[in-house]
Amino acid sequence: MNYLDANFIAALHFNIAGHTDLAETFVRKAPLPFVVSGLGELECRRAFIRRAGHSQSENWLRFQERLDGGAWLRLDVEWAKAEDRAAALMEKLRVKVNCGTLDILHVALAQMAGCTWFLSFDTNSNARVLAASARLKVYPELSPSEKGRVVH
Partner 1 sequence: MKAIEVKAREFHRRTAWALETARKGTPIVIISKGHPPLTLRAGTPEDRQRSVVDWDSHFAWLHAQPVSAVNPVDEARASEDR
Applying CB under 8 A, the span of 12-20, 82-90, 128-136, 143-151 interacting with partner 1 comes to 12-20
Q: Which residues pair with 137 in a beta bridge?
A: 117
- Give 20 or 152: the residue with its C-beta nearer to partner 1: 20
How many CB atoms are located within 10 Å of the residue 53 CB? 7
Binding residue for partner 1, selected from 2, 3, 39, 48, defined by CB under 8 A: 48
Q: Does 130 bind partner 1 (CB under 8 A)?
A: no
CB of 88 to partner 1, least distance (A): 19
- Answer yes or no: are the C-beta atoms of 119 and 139 closer than 8 Å: yes
- Answer yes or no: are the C-beta atoms of 102 and 83 closer than 8 Å: no
Q: Does 137 bind partner 1 (CB under 8 A)?
A: no
CB of 15 to partner 1, least distance (A): 4
Applying CB under 8 A, the span of 70-78, 81-89, 128-136, 139-147 interacting with partner 1 comes to 70-78
Q: Tell me the C-alpha distance between 57 and 107, whole Å.
A: 28
CA atoms within 13 A on the CB side of 87: 6
Q: Does 61 bind partner 1 (CB under 8 A)?
A: no
